[in-house]
Every structure is written in C-alpha cells, then in structure tokens.
Amino acid sequence: MKTMFPRSIVTRLAVWLLLAAPLLLASCNTDSDAVKAAKAHEEEFRKVDDALIQAYFTRHNISSSNYQRTESGLYLVKIKDGSGELIKPGNKVQVKYIGSYIREAYEDQIFDKSYGNRTLCECTEVVVGQGQVIRGWEEALKLMRPGDQKQVFIPSYLAYGQYGSNSIPGMSRCSSIWKSSRFSKPGACTASGFFPRA
C-alpha cells in the first residue's frame, strides 16, 4: 500500500511555499503602516491620559515635588513611607486599597476596594510578577516597601485599556490609595494579621 503523495503534488506545494514565503515574511515587518498607526494611536492616548492626571493634580494642588512619575506614565504620590527592601517579583504582598476614577465628572467615585472584602486583613494578596493584576499595579508595587502608603495614578493603557473590565469602562484613568501591609519572599509564608485602616 502506497501512502506517499504523488511527486507532482509535493513539487507544486514546495514551489507554492517558496513563492509565498517572501509575502509571508514581509507581513512580519514591524515598520508597516498598521504598526506605525497603532503606535501613533497609543501615543495620543498617553498624552490624553497624562493631561487628565495633570488636571487632577491641578484641581487638588498636588505639585510636581510631591509625586514620582515613571517612564511609563504611572504616578505615585507619597502619603507615608514604609521601611525595608523594595518589593520584588515573586514576593507575596498584602495590599489595602481603594480604587476610584480621576476624571472630574466621576471624581472619587469608588469602583473597587479591599476594605470589607471578608478577609481578616481587609486586603488583597498579590504575587508580584505573576500577571495577577493590571500592569500599573505590577509596576507600582515594585516601587513600594512594606508599610508604604501611596496614592497611585494609573493611566488607562496601564489599567483596563480601551475595553474596560466588568463595571469599569474602557479608557478609565484610575487613582488608588494603597497601603502595602506585609510581604514575604518567594517560598515563605505570609502571616495574616489585622492592620488598622489608614
């Protein structure tokens, strides 16, 4: 019983693949018009998000000496300093937070919080670097120490993007007040405990 394809079909397939290869490879060009347009679109959103965050700072008299801006566009306003090492990928962190919108029409409307979540610590636990939270959280956590309390301003492209999530509309810029309560290194156990509200 012969199971091979006839030689003519294999030859035709090989010729077709050789002819199609340049077209397929050209579609991987990172400098295509579509890629350039997407990058330009993202840059425009970054400018809009930054302007909205700056408008919030103006309304609340938060000067540039009071916040840290990262290269990605995330802002952190210090409320209280903690101590110890910076949080690193792999650390399990307990975070108390209140998340709200910053756009003037919806300002301070809470969309999420850890308080009242039926845990002893009224916090959420996150293993940093595991993709369990939005990109803005991941970045901000790595800039905090145990006991830090910061107000974190997350642009939409580091939060829920243009499509949103559950009850959070797309293109939402967020502010969260965080208290990093405790953290443990990889492989260690985290002791739970009650931490008073900040």
Provide the CATH number for the domain around residue 161: 3.10.50.40
20 in any annotated domain = no
25 in any annotated domain = no
Number of domains in the chain: 1
12 in any annotated domain = no
Q: What percent of the chain is predicted at pLDDT more than 90? A: 22
In this predicted structure, what is the pLDDT of residue 57? 93
Provide the sign of the torsion angle of the four alpha carbons 53, 59, 64, 68, taken in this order: negative
- For the chain, where are the alpha helices, taking DSSP H only? 7-26, 33-59, 135-141
Find, among 160, 95, 169, the residue nearest to 134 by Cα. 160
Report which residue type is found at 21: A
SS3 content of the chain, % helix, strand, coil (to 5): 30, 25, 45
In this predicted structure, what is the pLDDT of residue 178? 67
* Range from 118-122, 128-132, 157-161 that averages highest in pLDDT: 128-132
113 in any annotated domain = yes
Return the ∠ at Cα 124 (arms to 119 and 128), rounded to 5°.
Answer: 150
- Phi, psi (deg, nearest 5) at residue 197: -60, 145
CB 75 within 8 A of CB 46: no
Report the alpha-carbon distance of residue 23 to residue 3 in Å, rounded. Answer: 32
Average pLDDT, the chain: 76
Write out pLDDT tens, residues 30-89: 568 888 888 888 888 889 889 999 999 999 999 999 999 999 999 999 988 888 889 899
- Phi, psi (deg, nearest 5) at residue 68: -115, 130
Neighbours of 140 (CB within 10 A): 27
Neighbours of 88 (CB within 10 A): 14
Report the alpha-carbon distance of residue 134 to residue 130 in Å, rounded. Answer: 10
Token code pair at residue 15: 């010729």
Which domain, by its residues, includes 85? 33-184
58 in any annotated domain = yes
